[in-house]
Amino acid sequence: MEKLKEMLEELESIGDENVKKKLQLKQSSKLIVKLDSLSEECEECQHHFDGFEDHIHQLKAGDFNEDSLKKHKKFLYKVTSHLQKKHKIVSEGYYMSIFMSIGISMGVVFGLTIFDNIALGIPIGLSMGLAIGAGIDADSKKKGLVL
């Protein structure tokens, strides 16, 4: 794992800020840590972890054209989707965004039916959704299920 982190730091030393942003090096670092912790239990995580080293070698060897950046983005998406589907790992703020939209829609319904005032229902539903989503996000962060 340390070798992969060193290789990512070498990629960070690239002068072009636009390329650094497209490479999503912080997300790659987080994925490496998660894959390393899960690789003992999951064979596919071990496969992705091993693939990360090969992938970073290819990035270091070649130039950063659109094709290699697209391939890198696809690789990160593949690893992230595996972590989300198999291990229930979510991105930061995931539940808050879900419950905020649910709260707004519930606020519209309650605002029209109970309060007869949609302007009163929307902020109430929004605040309830934010509170519930933030609570679930905090709980999942404690359990280590946040990327």
Q: Does 73 lie in the same domain as 37?
A: yes
List the beta bridge partners of residue 90. 146
Q: Domain boundary residue among 72, 87, 102? A: 87
CA distance 89 to 130: 20
Q: Does 11 lie in the same domain as 75?
A: yes
Q: Does 17 lie in the same domain as 54?
A: yes
Asked if the structure places residue 147 within a domain, the reply is no
pLDDT values of the chain reduced to their tens digit, one per residue, 147 residues: 788 888 888 877 776 777 778 888 888 888 988 988 888 888 999 999 888 888 888 877 766 778 888 888 999 999 999 999 999 999 999 999 999 999 999 999 999 999 899 999 999 999 999 999 999 999 999 998 998
Q: Is residue 32 within 8 Å of residue 52, measured between CB atoms?
A: yes
Hey, how many other C-beta atoms are within 10 angstroms of the C-beta on 129? 23
Q: Does 69 lie in the same domain as 38?
A: yes
**Domain interval for residue 98:** 94-142
Instruction: Say how many domains are in the chain.
Output: 2
- pTM flag (> 0.75): yes
